[in-house]
């Protein structure tokens, strides 16, 4: 018996889906206080909330702008963000991930705290 392959249609992923996955995954990573601002959007509301996505030849490239908590290892937190986003996009959408660039905009010391935490 021969197997035949049946095409039942195609699936299209809106860019907003990739933005949402990257945004929510970043915010769910321990040590992330909030998303930063994309450069060049200083005086206008940033519709992407600190996330830029580019897709070239079905490969996803991500730039994330974050503000981190003051008591975290910055390098480890950024690596965790990269790992979590890569896994989420690969597993949820099935697309290959090229690069995930993390831009640390600031550190959140909270109200009334200085750099020494006093």
What are the tens digits of pLDDT across the range 36-86?
988 875 555 555 589 999 999 999 999 999 999 999 999 999 999 999 999
Domain presence at residue 47: yes
Q: Name every residue whose Cβ is closer than 8 Å to that of residue 48 and which is 6 or more positions away in sequence.
A: 19, 23, 38
Asked whether the predicted pLDDT for residue 117 surpasses 60, the reply is no
C-beta of residue 21 within 8 angstroms of C-beta of residue 91: no
Domain presence at residue 25: yes
- Note the pTM of the prediction, 2 decimals: 0.81
Angle between helices 74-93 and 15-27 (to 10 degrees): 140
Domain presence at residue 1: no
Number of domains in the chain: 1
Domain presence at residue 114: no
Q: Domain of 32?
A: 15-108
* Mean pLDDT over the full length of the chain: 87
CATH of the domain at 49: 3.30.70.1350
Domain presence at residue 97: yes
SS3 state of residue 69: strand
Based on C-alpha coordinates, what's the Rg of the chain? 18
């Amino acid at each position: 018996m021969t197997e035949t392959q049946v095409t039942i249609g195609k699936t299209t992923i809106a860019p907003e889906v990739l933005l949402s996955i990257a945004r929510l995954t970043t915010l769910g990573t321990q040590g992330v206080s909030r998303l930063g601002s994309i450069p060049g959007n200083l005086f206008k509301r940033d519709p992407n909330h600190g996330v830029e996505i580019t897709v070239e030849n079905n490969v996803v490239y991500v730039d994330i702008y974050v503000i981190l908590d003051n008591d975290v290892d910055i390098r480890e937190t950024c690596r965790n963000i990269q790992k979590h986003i890569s896994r989420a996009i690969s597993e949820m959408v099935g697309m290959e991930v090229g690069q995930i660039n993390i831009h640390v905009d600031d550190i959140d010391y909270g109200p009334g705290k200085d750099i020494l935490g006093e």
